[in-house]
Amino acid sequence: MSDQLKIYCVNTGHYVDIQGGETLLDIAGRLPLGFDPICARVNNKTENLRFQVFMPKMVEYLPKTHPSAERTYVRSLCMVLYRAVSKLYPSCTLRISHSISKGYYCRLIGLEHEIDKPTVEALKAEMRAIINADLPLKRKERLTEDVIKIFNDQGLTDKVRLLRTIHDLYTTYYRLDGICDSYYGTLAASTGILDVFDLQPYKQGFLLYAYDKDCPSRTPQHVTQEKMYQAFTEHLEFNNILGVRNVGELNEAVLQGRSPMLINVAEALHEKMIARIAEDITERYRQGGARIVMIAGPSSSGKTTTTKRLAIQLMTNLLKPQMVSLDNYFVDRVHTPKDETGDYDYESLYALDLEQFNKDLNDVLDGKEVMLPTYNFQTGEREYKGNTIKLEPGSILLIEGIHGLNPELTSHIEEKMKFRLYVSALTTLSIDDHNWVPTTDNRLLRRIIRDHKYRGVSAAETIRRWPSVRRGEEKWIFPYQENADATFNSSLLFELGVMKYYADDLLRRVPRDIPEYAEAYRLQKFLSYFQPIEESHIPSTSLLREFLGGSSFKY
């Protein structure tokens, strides 16, 4: 028998005696956790519950409500879905593209008929059978060349391409009921815990649903996101034309010296999209509407650069854009609402003086000269410094702020006078057919780089604040996405390869003995899939310059 060891369990606040070689699952069975864990953090790194413990460790078991556990659950469901597809439709390729409408959009490439309700129901029944059997999801690690052979035999050519471009000596993969797959992160110990899921037909494919984060005993209610779907689809078609649909294909293009071409084409697409939006605004302006353009979007979506580039395009249409900052309409700090932790909630709509904002806008639209406020972030008070605005013939207001799509923000402004633009980095590049690039990760990496460069904030601090930012987005931004008159996808096909240069170093500085290390380590692993891309070919007007620096715009 091995010498007795101790681990420190964060959940119970006590040391626990263990035998060397026990799995986290074995240990959990003896602990009064009060929930069924899906995964655990070991020394602040997320691990599978079949992880064996041979040395003293700090262990925190994670429930469904934890973001790392949710990701583990979704990835595990994806492998169960892949197993179901391989049984029922072995000649088809499963492609999981992106998240939308509270689910994950999936397609079956090579299916001889359109995906219909019976097809989806058959897959759902097969998934349920696999889950009810409580089959093990076995974690394996072998020489990459051996894993390439396994994936080749299964027809997973996208994974083969990726592995051949990242040059790791060993590769981790999972085995379920005779099939193998790899995922960006850990999986559950077995299928039995995946008791909440659903499949529903959607467009040319179907949506995979995991549990509702607010109520883990049920799946989330479907949310219609037609405009988001259109924005995703447009970029997916663009990726197909370039032949860069996943990270393996991107890496091949980089290794072949095609980075400058990818950068130029992606930047040209951005310019074309912004010009098209400017044309729509101009047309409505000439018809007597669209005097105010509201630009909204989540954190690090690139709203500021989008606004500046849109202003240039509107000027080429002979309009005169004028900027109004929504931040200057914050109420005095003593009146700012507070969040559930007692901190000032600047994300709240009611942190703004809605009455004064609407009055000023209506006065401007009536042709009056209006004194604009300035918010002093040091004193927390509104000031007036003589800044005025008056609409001249051909003038149009551009107002950037997270609440731009919320009808309550401009409730006293005539509808025809408003044009709403939603900006978000809707990442359409996949790691491989079964692993998508989360839009949230793209934005978080942008913010980590920007916070460090312009605000002196460490990656650890940005990661610590991120859950609060995300809660604000879920409450104040995402529910209003479909109110937009136009959606601008601010993601750039090449940007993660470029950001790798900057983010890798910042993430390595996150101390190992703090909880934020788990997220830093996960993001480092994510970036390890990308070949680095030099930034020298990125133009000074690029949206990415808002985060990297070197922009010709003033912020």
Give the pLDDT confidence of 20-55 residue by residue, as tens digits: 899 999 999 999 999 999 999 999 999 999 999 999
pLDDT over threshold 80, residue 378: yes
pLDDT at 56 over 50: yes
Q: Which ranges in 154-302 belong to alpha helices (H)?
A: 157-166, 226-242, 247-255, 259-286
Q: Report the candidate in 9, 69, 85 with the shortest Cα–Cα distance to residue 42.
A: 9
State how far the Cα of 373 lies from the Cα of 368, in Å rounded to an integer. 16
Confidence category of residue 1, pLDDT binned at 50, 70, 90:
very low
Q: Looking at the predicted structure, is the pLDDT value of residue 175 above 50?
A: yes
Write the pLDDT tens digit of every residue in 74-100. 999 999 999 999 999 999 999 999 899
Residue range(s) in the chain whose domain bears CATH number 3.30.980.10: 68-225
Q: Give the tokens for residue 481.
A: 């996405």
Distance CA 532, CA 499 (A): 8
Amino acid code (one letter) for 511: P
- DSSP-based three-state secondary structure for 107: strand
Cα(53)–Cα(7) distance, rounded to whole angstroms?
9
What single letter denotes the amino acid at residue 280? D
Tokens matching residue 539: 């133009």
Contacts of 145 by beta carbon, 8 Å cutoff, 6+ apart = none
Nearest one of 145, 199, 204, 135 to 170, comparing CA atoms? 145
CATH of domain 227-548: 3.40.50.300
Kindly tell me if the per-residue pLDDT of 2 is higher than 70: no
With contact defined as beta carbons under 8 Å apart, do 421 and 485 qualify?
A: yes
Inform me whether the pLDDT recorded for 386 exceeds 80.
yes
342: which residues sit within 8 A by CB, 6+ positions away?
none
**pLDDT, position 3:** 57
Q: Is 461 exposed, middle or buried (0-12, 13-18, 19+ CB in 10 A)?
A: middle
How many beta carbons lie within 10 A of that of residue 177, not counting itself? 17
Nearest CA among 154, 358, 161, 348 for reference residue 254: 161
The pLDDT tens digits of the residues spanning 490-545 come to 999 999 999 998 999 999 999 999 999 999 999 999 999 999 999 999 999 999 99
Please name which of 421, 428, 427 lies closest in space to residue 445, comparing C-alpha atoms. 427
Residues of the chain with CATH 3.40.50.300: 227-548
Per the prediction, the chain carries an average pLDDT of 94
* pLDDT of 215 strictly over 70: yes
- d(CA 82, CA 96) in angstroms, rounded, equals 10
pLDDT of residue 480: 94
Res 236: pLDDT: 86
- The angle subtended at Cα 509 by Cα 505 and Cα 513, nearest 5°, is 150
The CATH code of domain 4-63 reads: 3.10.20.30
Residue 372 has a pLDDT of: 93
Per-residue tokens: 292: 């105010």
Q: Which residues pair with 62 in a beta bridge?
A: 39
Helix (H) or strand (E) holding 399: strand 395-400
Cα distances (angstroms) measured from residue 60 to each of 15, 139, 521:
12, 20, 16
> Are 70 and 167 spatial neighbours (Cβ–Cβ below 8 Å)?
no
E strand or H helix that includes residue 202: strand 198-202
**pTM of the entire structure?**
0.93
d(Cα 323, Cα 282) in Å, to the nearest integer? 16
Helices (H), 154-225: 157-166
Helix (H) or strand (E) holding 420: strand 418-424
Q: Per DSSP, what are the bridge partners of residue 107? A: 95
In percent, the amount of the chain with pLDDT more than 90 equals 87
Please give the radius of gyration of the chain, using alpha carbons only, rounded to the nearest integer: 25
How many residues make up the chain in this entry?
Answer: 555
Cα–Cα distance measured from residue 541 to residue 7, given in angstroms and rounded to the nearest whole number? 53
Distance CA 291, CA 230 (A): 26
Percent of the chain with pLDDT over 70: 99
378 versus 61: which is more confidently predicted?
A: 61
Whole-angstrom distance, CA of residue 321 vs CA of residue 314: 7
CA–CA separation, 552 vs 260, rounded Å? 20
Confidence grade of residue 377 (pLDDT, cut at 50, 70, 90): confident
* The CATH number fitting domain 68-225, selected from 3.40.50.300, 3.30.980.10, 3.40.50.2000, 3.40.190.10: 3.30.980.10
pLDDT band at 389 (very low <50, low <70, confident <90, very high): very high
Structure tokens at 176: 């379920």
Q: How far apart are CA 22 and CA 25, in angstroms?
A: 8
Q: Give 544 or 3, the one with higher predicted confidence.
A: 544
- For residue 140, give the nearest of 79, 88, 194 by alpha carbon: 79
